[in-house]
Chains A and B, each alone.
Chain A
């Protein structure tokens, strides 16, 4: 990354696991800032999966992850992300 801090309006981002998505569009429909859309790619089962079409609008509120019936997407605030990664490094999941 360059010395200049990147100008990012987005407050968070999403993580997608394309292979378990079933294309139901819950996440797209109920995202409060309407920043998700279906991409052009198909997964192995033939479903289109969501992409962050307007990344600058994502607040990382996490609602997409609460809605997704297939556990294929979740969102996170940037300010929580590094802590989550540090926690993941420190304690491998035991359950």
Chain B
């Protein structure tokens, strides 16, 4: 594809083209991607790849695992060791990957439905055991891929195909869930906060334990259209206007609704032994010299 600089006074002849900085991280033959115009998922991918670059990660040691859904497609577009698993099972798959090859940096990248509806039990137990994985949830408050059904995150009052008169179910607040289950790092940003999100990814990639990042993103085709909330860009403008930075906020107080503040920042940052560390120290103390520590 040709590039156009639109700056007439710039002579670029004789030099090779520069690529979009995201390109080396993508399976370029799959671009253009399937995401709708104004869908926020692609923006999160820019931030994630920029963070990989800034963190100078050895890409042969990074694996990405997705479940099923529009967000689940991320694994298929990234030029890493990618695993597109079954619906809801990204976390158990990632757990196996990490335990079989403890040197890997394992990232789960999936949607709110995948991680918190069908996959909710796995999320809870991986956080409780402090599995050393980074879980990224693109929260668009709906099941995008299947046509806009109500999700465990859908705010009260929002209309969805399965809640035509508006949702009355209490939604889960993801940072609160992650905190209560024992995650060592919990942060929330939105697609508006591209610089902050990039920094957050980088920070989380450099830590150990069960780390969770929620990213609020517009699904214009299903969530916004059904609720007459405009285009993707209108929602991102809302994120800009409604967001309030509160690092260290009590996760009991960060629930989001159709209106009101969207609290963003790093809410939890603590240390706990990972599952492997705990196993090693336990068996070392029980079995002494008879135990050979594994990985970690």
CA distance A89 to B19 in the complex (A): 11
* A19, A86, A95: residue with the most chain B Cβ atoms closer than 10 Å: A95
Please tell me if B289 contacts chain A, counting CB pairs below 8 Å: no
Residues of B within 8 A of A25 (CB): 231, 233
Question: Interface segment, B35-43, B163-171, B269-277?
Answer: B35-43
Q: 1/0 contact trace for B2-18 toward A, CB 8 Å?
A: 11111101111001111
Please tell me if A31 contacts chain B, counting CB pairs below 8 Å: no
* CB closest residue in chain B, given A76: B18
Residues of A within 8 A of B9 (CB): 1, 6, 8
Nearest Cβ distance between residue B64 and chain A, in whole angstroms? 13
CA distance A68 to B237 in the complex (A): 15
Please tell me if B295 contacts chain A, counting CB pairs below 8 Å: no
CB–CB B38/A13 < 8 A? no
CB–CB A66/B43 < 8 A? yes
Q: 1/0 contact trace for A70-90 toward B, CB 8 Å?
A: 110110101001101110110
CB–CB A29/B20 < 8 A? no
Please tell me if A38 contacts chain B, counting CB pairs below 8 Å: no
Please tell me if B93 contacts chain A, counting CB pairs below 8 Å: no
* B2, B19, B37: residue with the most chain A Cβ atoms closer than 10 Å: B37
CB–CB B6/A55 < 8 A? yes
Q: 1/0 contact trace for A38-81 toward B, CB 8 Å?
A: 00000000010001100100100011011111110110101001
Q: Which of A16, A51, A89, A95 lies in contact with B16, CB distance below 8 A?
A: A89
Nearest Cβ distance between residue B246 and chain A, in whole angstroms? 22
Nearest Cβ distance between residue A70 and chain B, in whole angstroms? 6
- Main secondary structure, interface of A, reads mixed
CB–CB B236/A70 < 8 A? no
CB–CB B18/A26 < 8 A? no
Please tell me if B287 contacts chain A, counting CB pairs below 8 Å: no
Q: Which of B2, B5, B37, B232 lies in contact with A13, CB distance below 8 A?
A: B5
CB–CB A24/B194 < 8 A? no
Nearest Cβ distance between residue B105 and chain A, in whole angstroms? 16
Nearest Cβ distance between residue B69 and chain A, in whole angstroms? 16
Residues of B within 8 A of A18 (CB): 4
CB–CB B26/A26 < 8 A? no
CB–CB B32/A20 < 8 A? yes
Please tell me if B84 contacts chain A, counting CB pairs below 8 Å: no
- Given A8-B9, A24-B231, decide whether A66 and B3 contact each other with a Cβ distance below 8 A: no
Please tell me if B153 contacts chain A, counting CB pairs below 8 Å: no
Nearest Cβ distance between residue B62 and chain A, in whole angstroms? 11
- Given A16-B3, A70-B33, decide whether A30 and B15 contact each other with a Cβ distance below 8 A: no
CA distance A88 to B21 in the complex (A): 11
**B interface, CB within 8 angstroms of A:** 1-7, 9-12, 15-26, 31-33, 35-43, 46-47, 50, 59, 79, 192, 194-195, 198, 231-233, 236-237
**A interface, CB within 8 angstroms of B:** 1, 6, 8, 10, 13-20, 22-26, 29-30, 47, 51-52, 55, 58, 62-63, 65-71, 73-74, 76, 78, 81-82, 84-86, 88-89, 93, 95
**Beyond A16-B4, A26-B236, A74-B20: 17 further Cβ-contacts under 8 Å?**
A13-B5, A15-B4, A15-B5, A17-B3, A22-B38, A24-B37, A24-B38, A47-B37, A52-B6, A66-B47, A67-B194, A68-B46, A69-B38, A69-B41, A76-B18, A85-B18, A88-B19
Q: Could you list 18 A-B pairs, sorted by A, with CB under 8 Å?
A: A6-B9, A13-B7, A14-B5, A17-B2, A20-B32, A22-B36, A23-B37, A24-B231, A24-B232, A26-B233, A58-B7, A66-B47, A66-B195, A67-B43, A70-B37, A73-B20, A85-B18, A95-B24
